[in-house]
């Protein structure tokens, strides 16, 4: 009956409950089973419980793993990353230390545009190899599903190249990838004074990307000096007409109405939300828009943090992600994000776990398949070498993963990836 049984789990964080965004106080309502077990058949979970009831599922061929002293959570979901890109931007670190802001660097043709130049020149294989390395790191930290945005091409060939790399990695790598088209990430230098023409260029890319199944979501960097309120609204309206689900980079540096766009168009998530006006929190809650917070970006840019406590009080449903990218958040480490959420956003361990599991799944429209350990869901889970969930947030800056299972298969053992290459 069972192919794999994990037994004697010290704390089994199931996240069982409704397959929808957990909002406000619900984020703290987390089931933790002591001395738990999970039974897997093929790639799915077929039983969850406590004690020795697992014995009913034993067969001759069943593999049994003893998880005494370990904590198990659902596979972590990193629902906002810029995974596929070329190169790195460590030279900007010194500029930032000298006082240049992120947007100053972008205006001077650096920042995102620096990565665009490199990504345009890179071959498919170069992009694939670099992204694969990052996916291995993510997996070794417990991430089993990741979102990946384009947006370092800003021309049709490179945007498609980035999305095709993500598609191939989704086929070959154990981590599941959900792709987002983000042609509206910055204005390329040759369109600096011709925004209208660039916006039409981005819109012209949409049907091809949709028809070839290269992205489920479309995202826009709605920000002062980047894509204005009107431009972002227009782009996302068009994306919706072409059948994309929507996301928006909202209020990262300045608040220019991105939350209103999210509410008007029914964005699945609004991301960043550092400068969001407090009266907008209730709107996010009312429209069940995932508030996707990215504290590693605040940390790395040395900026303010999103007001997570007030958001939760207003009834928002929060997800947490790395925003992994070569500029504002060069880290694949979702555990660091969880620890920053505890230390800087004042979220509790239970809220944090909700944010990186079921609410992350909601941000990717995957809440029926992943995000909790319950019968029928994918057998994606992480065993952490920690005595309890508080410890995971408290002891910061190191990797607490012991093993990771993806679709019922062991893919990380003692922190090392061990999946078979396809």
Site for ligand NIG in 259-298 (CB under 6 A): 297
Residue 147 within binding range of ligand NIG, rule CB under 6 A: no
Residue 78 within binding range of Fe ion, rule CB under 5 A: no
Residues recorded for the chain: 422
Instruction: Return the number of the residue (22 or 247) whose C-beta is nearest ligand NIG.
Output: 247
Instruction: Return the number of the residue (112 or 373) whose C-beta is nearest ligand NIG.
Output: 112
- Which of 82, 132, 307, 402 is in the footprint of ligand NIG by CB under 6 A? 82
CA-wise closest residue to 397 among 331, 348, 347: 331
Instruction: Return the number of the residue (104 or 369) whose C-beta is nearest ligand NIG.
Output: 104
Site for ligand NIG in 202-231 (CB under 6 A): 221
Q: Measured between alpha carbons, how far is 276 from 292 in angstroms, rounded to an integer?
A: 12
In the complex, what is the shortest distance from the CB of residue 173 to ligand NIG, in angstroms, rounded to a whole number? 22
In the complex, what is the shortest distance from the CB of residue 334 to Fe ion, in angstroms, rounded to a whole number? 15
Q: How many CB atoms lie within 10 A of CB 193?
A: 7
Residue 403 within binding range of Fe ion, rule CB under 5 A: no
Residue 119 within binding range of ligand NIG, rule CB under 6 A: no
Compute how many residues bind Fe ion; rule: CB under 5 A: 1
Q: Measured between alpha carbons, how far is 106 from 323 in angstroms, rounded to an integer?
A: 17
- x-marked contacts with ligand NIG along 235-254 as a string, rule CB under 6 A: --------------x--x--
SS3 content of the chain, % helix, strand, coil (to 5): 40, 25, 40
CA dihedral sign, ordered 141, 147, 153, 157: positive
In the complex, what is the shortest distance from the CB of residue 311 to Fe ion, in angstroms, rounded to a whole number? 18
Compute how many residues bind ligand NIG; rule: CB under 6 A: 13
Residue 323 within binding range of Fe ion, rule CB under 5 A: yes
Stretch binding ligand NIG (CB under 6 A), from 209-217, 236-244, 318-326, 353-361: 318-326
Residue 159 within binding range of ligand NIG, rule CB under 6 A: no
Residue 257 within binding range of ligand NIG, rule CB under 6 A: no
Stretch binding ligand NIG (CB under 6 A), from 172-180, 326-334, 387-395, 404-412: 326-334
Residue 300 within binding range of ligand NIG, rule CB under 6 A: no
Q: Measured between alpha carbons, how far is 321 from 80 in angstroms, rounded to an integer?
A: 5
Instruction: Return the number of the residue (73 or 115) whose C-beta is nearest ligand NIG.
Output: 115
Residue 147 within binding range of Fe ion, rule CB under 5 A: no
- Give me the DSSP letters along 194-211: -HHHHHHHHHHHHHHHHH
Q: Measured between alpha carbons, how far is 317 from 46 in angstroms, rounded to an integer?
A: 28
220: left (phi over 0), alpha (psi -120 to 50) or beta: beta
252 binds, among Fe ion, ligand NIG, none (CB under 5 to 8 A by kind): ligand NIG
Burial label for 126, CB within 10 Å (0-12, 13-18, 19+), is middle
327 binds, among Fe ion, ligand NIG, none (CB under 5 to 8 A by kind): ligand NIG
The residue assigned the tokens 């599903």 is: 145
- Which of 70, 112, 306, 356 is in the footprint of ligand NIG by CB under 6 A? 112
Residue 219 within binding range of Fe ion, rule CB under 5 A: no
Mind spelling out the 3-state secondary structure of 274-337? CCCCHHHHHHHHHCCCEEEECHHHHHHHCCCCCCHHHHHHCCCCEEECCCCCCCCCCCCCHHHH
CA-wise closest residue to 137 among 359, 319, 399: 399
Site for ligand NIG in 367-406 (CB under 6 A): none
Residue 328 within binding range of ligand NIG, rule CB under 6 A: yes
In the bound state, the residue with its beta carbon closest to ligand NIG is: 327
Q: Measured between alpha carbons, how far is 163 from 181 in angstroms, rounded to an integer?
A: 8
CA-wise closest residue to 342 among 351, 332, 330: 351
Q: Is residue 41 within 8 Å of 2, Cβ to Cβ?
A: yes
Q: How many CB atoms lie within 10 A of CB 359?
A: 31
Residue 359 within binding range of ligand NIG, rule CB under 6 A: no
Q: Which residues bind ligand NIG (CB under 6 A)?
A: 82, 111-112, 115, 221, 249, 252, 297, 323, 325-328
Binding site for Fe ion (CB under 5 A): 323
């Amino acid at each position: 009956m069972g192919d794999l049984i994990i037994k004697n789990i010290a704390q089994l964080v199931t996240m069982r409950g409704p397959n929808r965004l957990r909002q406000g106080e619900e984020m703290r309502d987390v089931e933790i089973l002591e001395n738990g077990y999970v039974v897997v058949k093929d790639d799915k979970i077929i039983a969850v419980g406590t004690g020795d009831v697992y014995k009913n599922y034993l067969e001759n061929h069943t593999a049994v793993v003893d998880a005494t002293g370990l904590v198990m959570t659902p596979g972590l979901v990193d629902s906002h990353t810029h995974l596929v890109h070329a190169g790195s931007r460590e030279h900007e670190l010194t500029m930032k230390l000298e006082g240049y802001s992120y947007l100053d660097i972008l205006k001077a043709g650096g920042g995102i545009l620096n990565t665009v130049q490199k990504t345009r020149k890179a071959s498919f294989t170069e992009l694939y190899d670099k992204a694969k390395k990052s996916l291995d790191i993510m997996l070794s930290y417990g991430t089993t599903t990741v979102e990946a945005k384009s947006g370092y091409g800003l021309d049709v060939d490179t945007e498609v190249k980035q999305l095709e790399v993500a598609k191939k990695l989704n086929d070959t790598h154990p981590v599941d990838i959900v792709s987002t088209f983000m042609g509206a990430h910055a204005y390329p230098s040759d369109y600096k004074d011709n925004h209208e023409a660039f916006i039409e260029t981005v819109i012209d890319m949409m049907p091809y990307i949709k028809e070839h199944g290269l992205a489920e979501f479309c995202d826009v960097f709605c920000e002062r000096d980047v894509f204005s309120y009107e431009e972002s609204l227009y782009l996302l309206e068009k994306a919706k007409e072409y059948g994309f689900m929507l996301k928006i980079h909202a209020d990262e540096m300045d608040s220019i109405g991105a939350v209103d766009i999210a509410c008007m168009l029914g964005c699945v998530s609004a991301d960043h939300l550092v400068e969001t006006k407090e009266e907008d929190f209730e709107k996010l809650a009312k429209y069940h828009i995932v508030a996707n917070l990215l504290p590693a970006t605040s940390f790395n840019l040395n900026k303010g943090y999103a007001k997570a406590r007030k958001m939760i009080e207003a009834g928002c449903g929060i997800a947490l992600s790395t925003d992994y990218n070569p500029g504002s958040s060069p880290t694949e480490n979702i555990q660091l994000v969880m620890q920053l959420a505890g230390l800087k956003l004042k979220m509790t361990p239970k809220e944090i776990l909700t944010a990186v599991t079921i609410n992350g799944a909601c941000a990717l429209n995957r809440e029926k398949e992943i995000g909790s350990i319950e019968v029928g869901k994918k057998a994606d889970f992480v065993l952490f070498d920690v005595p309890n969930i508080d410890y995971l947030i408290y002891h910061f800056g190191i990797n607490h993963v012991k093993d990771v299972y993806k679709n019922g298969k062991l893919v990380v053992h003692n922190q090392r990836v061990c999946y078979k290459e396809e």
